[in-house]
């Protein structure tokens, strides 16, 4: 009887292993197809989002006057991106010397009629500004520079320029 039960148990076990082995490739193919489809949809969603807008970074420093070190200069960092027919800008400036003077960020833009002062931002500390321009009127470039001091005596840094 013992031999018969051992043979039966072995047969059941062999049958279960064979059934599992037969089902495994089908399940693996289904799982593989599902994961491939998920990866493809995630990849296409990511590329659609990145195609929607890519951030382009820019930055700069003010010059420095008498008695100031390079480490005390004001600086700015910003980015722009294009989406839906508009150019979007985000600029942050830091006044690091805490001398009571202001930091000025001048944003100039270029269109079919030439260069125009679009914005002048002022801060004593940290400031952040967000704005946008449409492509209408031939908007095709911008430049930014930063100054620190008083309105009579500004230490202007170099321009950051970009053309589209």
Mean pLDDT across 40-52: 49
Q: Are 158 and 147 contacting, i.e. CB atoms less than 8 angstroms apart?
A: no
The tens digit of pLDDT for each residue in 86-119 reads 999 999 999 887 777 889 999 999 999 999 999 9
Mean pLDDT across 26-43: 47
Mean pLDDT across 121-147: 92
Residue 10: the pLDDT is 53
Mean pLDDT estimate for the chain: 76
- Among 100, 106, 95, smallest CA distance to 146 is for 106
* Torsion-angle region of 88 (φ positive above 0: left; ψ -120 to 50: alpha; else: beta): beta
The tens digit of pLDDT for each residue in 63-87 reads 876 666 666 788 999 999 999 999 9
Return phi, psi of residue 21, to 5°.
Answer: -65, -35
Give every CB contact of residue 142 below 8 A, 6+ residues apart in sequence.
Answer: 80, 89, 107, 108, 109, 110, 118, 161, 162
Tell me the C-alpha distance between 2 and 23, whole Å: 32
**Percent of the chain residues topping a pLDDT of 70:** 64
The yes-or-no verdict on residue 44 having pLDDT over 90 is no
Instruction: Give the residue with greater pLDDT, 23 vs 120.
Output: 120
């Amino acid at each position: 009887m013992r031999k018969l039960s051992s043979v039966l148990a072995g047969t059941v076990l062999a049958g279960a292993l064979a059934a599992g082995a037969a089902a495994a490739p089908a399940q693996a193919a289904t799982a593989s197809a599902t994961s491939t489809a998920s990866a493809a949809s995630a990849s296409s969603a990511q590329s659609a989002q990145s195609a929607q807008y890519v951030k382009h970074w820019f930055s700069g420093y003010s010059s420095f006057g008498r008695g100031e070190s390079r480490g005390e200069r004001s600086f700015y960092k910003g980015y722009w991106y294009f989406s839906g027919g508009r150019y979007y800008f985000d600029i942050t400036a830091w006044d690091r010397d805490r001398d009571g003077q202001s930091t000025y960020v001048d944003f100039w833009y270029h269109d079919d009629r030439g260069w125009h002062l679009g914005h002048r931002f002022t801060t004593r500390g940290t400031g952040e500004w967000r704005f946008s321009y449409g492509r209408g009127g031939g908007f095709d470039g911008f430049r930014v520079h930063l100054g620190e001091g008083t309105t009579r005596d500004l230490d202007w840094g170099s321009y950051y320029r970009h053309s589209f």
